[in-house]
Structure 1
Amino acid sequence: MSRSVPVGLGARAYDVVIGPGLLAEAGRRIAPLARRKRLAVVSDETVWGLHGAALTASLEGAGLAVHPVIVPPGEQTKSFEGLADVTDRLLALELDRGDIVTAFGGGVVGDLTGFAAAIYKRGIDFVQIPTTLLAQVDSSVGGKTAIDTPRGKNLVGAFHQPRLVLADLDVLSTLSDREMRAGYSEVIKYGLLGDFGFFEWLETNSAAVLAREPAALARAVARSVEMKAEIVAEDEKEQGRRALLNLGHTFGHALEAETGYGAALLHGEAVAAGQALAFRFSAAQGLCAGQDAARATAAIAGAGLPTRLDEIAGHPFDAARLVRHMAQDKKAEAGQLTFILARALGDAFVAKDVDAEAVRRFLVSEGAQMHEGEGR
């Protein structure tokens, strides 16, 4: 059985459909949205090789002409070069605003395709079919689209809401265990930032979720999407409460920048470490109890995710360099650092004007290097 979670945005409202077997239903669900019955599907080589035939059969069975646009896998595709390639190929298909672009893949494909759709002829409709746990519970919902630049992650983008999101839980069967763990970091985030009961449930059921047990997986994905949909409906453009969804991301994006956005540290792994660091920094600043920070760290670590700098193999981190990356974060204002910090488990808040020197000292206490002469 599938379940629909509405994202209430007035004229731009849409449903996130969650359940097994949704690839087979994709054609029936997407066809009413495509006026000219033409569909460009942006996917990466890995996902298309695994699931492209099933999706194509469903779409063509509903009378849709399918035009695949296949890109290389990996974060490096989410770049100016990748964006230019995808938009050029969409233009070559001579799509118009009555056509549909479908993002069929993980967060990289979803972010890249959504941004291309946002700027293609000043905006074309798109559908998200996320194929990773992380994309299903986070990046496919809410309309954030972006590419990376050498100066940081997701710094160039647009808000462009999809018309529909289809989260087929069956496709997660082909996901690696590492990718499942990386996606789980965004699941536990919802408990840590605003639902202590969900956090407690995850403490007991994390193994079942990661093992892809149907009932546990469906509950974890649905609750995550419910929370994100509620927050997005309240604050679409991240002027207030939506910033809470960035728990762990200020630390995490800095770690990703230092490791080169590659296979050494997946986005979800960086966010996991970032969440643990955010809770421990909150405790160090006297904002939350040390036992809450320890419990958050233990829950993240219990899912097989990194929680400390020295667990990211081969990458000694420099505290000052990490802080410089944080100064480029989208949430920074007038040169001041903004973090999502915690008062307790399930109670996060936006902290502006965070002292950069306090962050640097904390990172040193966590094992980051300090150059000679710093802090004197």
Structure 2
Amino acid sequence: MVATLHLDLGIRSYPIYIESGLFNDNSLLSRHIRGTRVCIVSNEIVHPLYAEKIKAALAGYQLDEIILPDGEAEKSLGNFDKIMSHLLANGHGRDTSLIALGGGVIGDITGFAAACYQRGIDFIQIPTTLLSQVDSSVGGKTAVNHPLGKNMIGAFYQPKAVLIDIDTLSSLPKREFSAGMAEVVKYGILGDGEFFNWLEQHKAQIRAGDKLVLSQMIERCCQCKADIVASDETEAGVRALLNLGHTFGHAIEAEMGYGNWLHGEAVATGMVLAAKLAVSMNLLAASDLRRIESLLEAFDLPLEAPESMGFSEFIRHMRRDKKNLAGKLRLIIPTKIGHSEIRDDITEDMLQQIL
């Protein structure tokens, strides 16, 4: 059940631990803390479930906590300021380590706070949702949202370690687990056709929560992301492929209000829209589109954009996407299951046809 991966980024390299019962190892966390002060950042849902185990592993450290409300809407500049104010008011220095205990929202905002506080302090990712375990905790993307765009204010800043205890998935609501599966399926579509086949073959075990299968699945996703990030840390090229479905998905989240559609739900719909665009361009076989839709549907993910969103609502947000260059839209398009491309030849007329 134990897996230890390594993300190779030179002096910024770090391990990714994946294990059932990882929180029971009191020595693991302290290996990656260099000072004597630790601040745990969590939310009101996760903190009561796991904070005591984490604090037991931190006996002997000077410890305090910041507990934020739950939800995507809380990944805000207001809560970023709350973290900064707490660290300053409590005299934290550059030898403090932040612990991000929670899902993607907590990981992103804690990482951004670590990047900014006194120009950079250490932080450790302890992701407790499937989506954060397979995606957002690995790779050093940190950010907060703005009403005009998701993740528009942030930094590339790597953690010292990622600790994934798959036992946390047992407390995850079904909808949150399904949302995480969108990011899992994404890896198969964008660059690992064999993994996509494996997911099709193991749907029942995944839905049933088979720990061995979940551990294998999470390890495969983390390895895929680690390989891509190691070759392109700051998204100058191939790392942009990890945004498959995200240009459409971020538009849905921004338009519908952060948290009304979960990130994974929006990404699932975004991947279907990207695949439909690819079919319309004769770049993707219709049979591959049907397989993509079938696998996403097997994990109870939405395939259709919100009825209230048409072309004008989508394009307003998509024009602000971070991948755009020189005023051109850049989208990730699947050309077959297991291969995707970055395209900058997508016109608004082409988008209007599918939206």
What interval of TM-score do these two structures reach, taking the shorter chain for normalisation?
over 0.9
CA RMSD of aligned residues (A): 1.1
User: Which runs of structure 2 are paired with 1:261-272 in the superposition (5 Å)?
Assistant: 261-262=258-259, 264-272=260-268
**Residue number in structure 1 paired with 2:338:** 346
Please state how far the C-alpha of 1:204 moved relative to its aligned partner. Answer: 1.6
**Residue number in structure 1 paired with 2:51:** 52
Q: Verify the 8 A CA contact 2:99 2:125 in the aligned structure 1.
A: yes
Please state how far the C-alpha of 1:240 moved relative to its aligned partner. Answer: 0.6
Q: Verify the 8 A CA contact 1:180 1:210 in the aligned structure 2.
A: no
Please state how far the C-alpha of 1:187 moved relative to its aligned partner. Answer: 0.6
Q: Verify the 8 A CA contact 2:273 2:354 in the aligned structure 1.
A: no
**Residue number in structure 2 paired with 1:38:** 37
Alignment deviations for residues 235-267 of structure 1 (CA, whole Å, 9 cap, x no partner): 0000011000000001101111111112x3100
Alignment deviations for residues 87-120 of structure 1 (CA, whole Å, 9 cap, x no partner): 1112222121122111000000000000000000
**Residue number in structure 1 paired with 2:68:** 71
Q: Verify the 8 A CA contact 1:254 1:326 in the aligned structure 2.
A: yes
Q: Verify the 8 A CA contact 2:30 2:57 in the aligned structure 1.
A: no
Q: Verify the 8 A CA contact 1:337 1:354 in the aligned structure 2.
A: yes
1:291 aligns with 2:287: yes
Q: Could you tell me how far apart the structure 1 residues matched to 2:247 and 2:181 are?
A: 18
Q: Could you tell me how far apart the structure 1 residues matched to 2:298 and 2:2 are?
A: 29
**Residue number in structure 2 paired with 1:371:** none
**Residue number in structure 1 paired with 2:273:** 277
**Residue number in structure 1 paired with 2:129:** 132
Q: TM-score, with normalisation over the residues of structure 2?
A: 0.98
Query: 2:257 corresponds to which letter in structure 1?
Result: G
Q: Could you tell me how far apart the structure 2 residues matched to 1:306 and 1:161 are?
A: 32
Q: Verify the 8 A CA contact 1:207 1:303 in the aligned structure 2.
A: no
Q: TM-score, with normalisation over the residues of structure 1?
A: 0.92
**Residue number in structure 1 paired with 2:322:** 330
1:2 aligns with 2:2: yes
**Residue number in structure 2 paired with 1:181:** 178
User: Which runs of structure 2 are paired with 1:1-376 in the superposition (5 Å)?
Assistant: 1-25=1-25, 27-60=26-59, 63-262=60-259, 264-309=260-305, 312=306, 315-363=307-355
Cα gap change, 1:97 to 1:7, in 2 (>3 Å): same
Q: Could you tell me how far apart the structure 2 residues matched to 1:66 and 1:172 are?
A: 26
Q: Could you tell me how far apart the structure 2 residues matched to 1:268 and 1:181 are?
A: 8
Q: In percent, how many aligned pairs have the same letter? A: 45
Instruction: Point out where structure 2 has 5 or more consecutive residues left out of the alignment.
Output: none
Query: 1:121 corresponds to which letter in structure 2?
Result: Q
Instruction: Point out where structure 1 has 5 or more consecutive residues left out of the alignment.
Output: 364-376
Q: Could you tell me how far apart the structure 2 residues matched to 1:253 and 1:89 are?
A: 30
Q: Could you tell me how far apart the structure 2 residues matched to 1:217 and 1:77 are?
A: 29
**Residue number in structure 2 paired with 1:366:** none
Alignment deviations for residues 311-367 of structure 1 (CA, whole Å, 9 cap, x no partner): x4xx5112112111101111111221111001101111111131112102210xxxx
Please state how far the C-alpha of 1:133 moved relative to its aligned partner. Answer: 0.3
Alignment deviations for residues 32-86 of structure 1 (CA, whole Å, 9 cap, x no partner): 33333221000001000111112212222xx223211111111111111111111
Q: Verify the 8 A CA contact 1:276 1:300 in the aligned structure 2.
A: no
What SS is found at the alignment partner of 1:354?
coil
What SS is found at the alignment partner of 1:317?
coil
Alignment deviations for residues 262-307 of structure 1 (CA, whole Å, 9 cap, x no partner): 2x31001000111111111100111111111111111111111001
Q: Could you tell me how far apart the structure 1 residues matched to 2:150 and 2:325 are?
A: 17
What SS is found at the alignment partner of 1:308?
coil
Please state how far the C-alpha of 1:207 moved relative to its aligned partner. Answer: 2.8
Q: Which runs of at least 4 in structure 1 moved beyond 3 Å after TM superposition?
A: none
What SS is found at the alignment partner of 1:46?
coil
Q: Could you tell me how far apart the structure 1 residues matched to 2:349 and 2:92 are?
A: 51
Query: 2:108 corresponds to which letter in structure 1?
Result: D
Q: Could you tell me how far apart the structure 2 residues matched to 1:348 and 1:246 are?
A: 10
**Residue number in structure 2 paired with 1:374:** none
Query: 2:140 corresponds to which letter in structure 1?
Result: G
- Which moved further from structure 2: 163-172 or 205-214? 205-214
Q: Could you tell me how far apart the structure 1 residues matched to 2:271 and 2:154 are?
A: 24
Q: Could you tell me how far apart the structure 2 residues matched to 1:16 and 1:241 are?
A: 21
